[in-house]
Amino acid sequence: MTTYKILAATGCPTGIAHTYMAAEALEQAAKKKNISIKVETHGQVGIENEFTEEEIRNAEVIIIAADKDVQSERFAGKRVIEVSVGKGIKEPDLLIEQALEGKGIIRKGTASQTAGSSTETRDGTGIGHAIYKHLMNGVSHMLPFVVGGGVLIAISFLWGIYSAEPDHVQYNAFAAMLKTIGGASMGMMVPVLSAYIAESIAKRPGLVIGFVGGLVANNGGTGFLGGIISGFLAGYLIVLLSKLFKNLPKSLDGLKVIFLYPVIGVFVIGVVMTLLSEPMSGVNEWMMDFLAGFENSNPLILGIIVGCMSAFDMGGPVNKAAYVTGTLLLAQGNTTFMAGVSAACIAPPLMTTVAVLLFKDSYSKEDRNAGLVNFILGSTHITEGAIPFAAKSPLKNIPIMMVGSSVAAVLTYFFKVQVPAPHGGFLVLPVVTHPLMWILAILIGSIIGGVLLGIVQKSSQKKEQI
């Protein structure tokens, strides 16, 4: 069996490009030094080239170049150099040099440790990157559910807006089945997000607590933000419990993982999220009433409000308040309000597409690929595709997306577009009043937002190079 002097694990939030670019860069850097290295990748297809226990035991140093969880608790007691996946791509030679020079930190804990390891200090990174890593671990697992479910729901509307309603003349059994399947997939979004944020923080013991917290948050109407809150609360709750129970006899480790963590964790997170859900749901209802009051107001004011709310948290309670209000008004025969909401929800992903096309040199290959995929997601009313872009610089990118969505919504109202479907994006164009004007409104908002995103990205890139 080959003995590797250096092991490296790479992983990026989406698990598509950066994961493998970092792996290749580290392999080439090690080859220049004539050093043996094995790189384990944590991509969208799962773990590839996985380390064996013997390889970990014999390795002198382990490089972690990742922005997501790579099961680093396995490396307890080993010398570890931990950086972002971007540094693995840009500075592989430096990382190999540091590995050979004996730099890094000895990872605390034992190899059998299952919770609490995420609280250790990272080499060269801070708490901000740790939070980002945990969040992106949740997002990367959530996105396939959103994409699969959202597209199936959109396709179901091709048979008619009411094709899933058994008592309606438009009813179609296949369309109803598609909507049911798509709805089930979309319904998993918040629980999966919460679960894998918690799993990133506290490993397997955090997974079940995160799932339950996410389900309670979802049922309570807290949306995307509720999933984030429950995920972090669940993860750090397990970390706290692991510290409280650390003095229990070693023979009770199985009891902690199988009984104490799940029972106490599920109870605490369930109670906390239940208590949080009611006030957050109340805030949602207040915002719905507030929006309904603007139903027949000035198109400029209404468009700005709807645009800002739709792009503010992209699937969270603020976004959902606008969406649910539009859906409720549809039931009352108002198809104008939903037109602006849909435009504002479609625009953010399309902005990222515009940005990566016009400013391709300012974005990584992974971002460019994600931006192109977002054209499909945006076209089918899946706003969440823009979340990874927003999360990288929320204080800059979210306001820009709010501006672009507001422009799209304002123009939609000025053009008197009517959209009688609560979902579906461009797939429901056959039932839209003034469909070409609606597309024009969305494209104008997306281009304005995309250009602004690209300018900010280019400016940030120049600052990093100075």
Helix (H), strand (E), coil (C) string for 236-267:
HHHHHHHHHCCCCCHHHHHHHHHHHHHHHHHH
Query: Radius of gyration over alpha carbons of the chain, in Å?
Result: 24
**What single-letter DSSP state applies at residue 287?**
H
68 — alpha (psi -120 to 50), left (phi > 0) or beta? beta
User: Measuring CA to CA, how many Å separate 278 from each of 230, 269, 273, 275, 284?
Assistant: 14, 14, 9, 6, 10
Question: Per DSSP, what are the bridge partners of residue 41?
Answer: 10, 48
Annotation says 12 is catalytic: yes
**Sheet with 79-83, side-by-side order of all strands:** 46-48, 37-43, 6-11, 61-66, 79-83, 105-106
Give the active site residue among 12, 193, 208, 329: 12
Residue 100: partners with Cβ closer than 8 Å, 6 or more residues away: 33, 35
Closest CA relative to residue 78, chosen from 49, 109, 48: 109
Q: Which token pair is 169?
A: 């003349």
**What single-letter DSSP state applies at residue 313?**
S
Active site residues: 12
